Amino acid sequence: MIPLRHPDSAFLLETAESAAREIMRIYAGEFTVDMKAGVEPVTQADRNADALIVGALKARFPEDAVLSEENGLQASGRAGRRVWFIDPVDGTKEFVKRNGEFSVQIGMSVDGVLELGIVLQPATGDTWLAARGEGCHHRTPDGAWARVVLPSRGDGPLVLAISRSHPSALAMKVGRELGCERQLERGGVGLKLMAIASGAAHYYLNDSNSTKAWDIAAPEILFSEAGGVVTDLRGEPFRYDVNDYLHRNGLLASCDRELHDRLLAFVRRERRRD
The domains located in the chain, with CATH, are 9-148 (3.30.540.10), 159-273 (3.40.190.80)
Helices (DSSP H) in the chain: which residue ranges?
9-27, 44-60, 92-97, 169-177, 189-197, 213-225, 257-273
Q: Answer whether 188's CB lies under 8 Å from 102's CB.
A: yes
Residue range 13-40: mean pLDDT, rounded: 94
Residue type present at position 18: S
Per-residue pLDDT at 270: 83
For residues 245 and 10, give the distance between their C-alpha atoms in angstroms, rounded to a whole number.
26
How do strand 135-139 and strand 145-148 relate by DSSP bridges? Answer: antiparallel
Helix (H, G, I), strand (E, B) or coil at 247: strand
Per-residue pLDDT at 244: 75
Query: What is the length of the chain?
Result: 274
Per-residue pLDDT at 274: 65
The secondary structure of residue 248, as a DSSP letter, is -
Per-residue pLDDT at 126: 98
Closest CA to 194 of 102, 259, 263, 267: 102
Q: What is the pTM of this model?
A: 0.95
Per-residue pLDDT at 55: 96
For residues 98 and 206, give the distance between their C-alpha atoms in angstroms, rounded to a whole number.
24
Terminal alpha carbon distance of the chain:
52
- What is the rounded average pLDDT for all residues in the chain? 92
Chain-centroid distance of CA 274 in Å reads 29
The secondary structure of residue 124, as a DSSP letter, is T
Cβ neighbors of 31 (< 8 A, separation 6 or more) are 43, 44, 45
Per-residue pLDDT at 81: 87
Where is 252: in which H helix or E strand? strand 251-254
For residues 54 and 66, give the distance between their C-alpha atoms in angstroms, rounded to a whole number.
7
Query: Over 55-120, what HEC string results?
Result: HHHHHHCCCCEEEECCCEEEECCCCCCEEEEEEEEECHHHHHHCCCCCEEEEEEEECCEEEEEEEE
Evaluate if residue 208 carries a pLDDT over 90. no
200 burial (CB, 10 Å; 0-12 / 13-18 / 19+) is middle
Among 56-70, 103-117, 126-140, 260-274, which is the least confidently predicted range?
A: 260-274
Q: How far is CA 71 from CA 46, 66, 87, 89, 267, in A?
A: 11, 10, 10, 13, 33
Cβ neighbors of 155 (< 8 A, separation 6 or more) are none
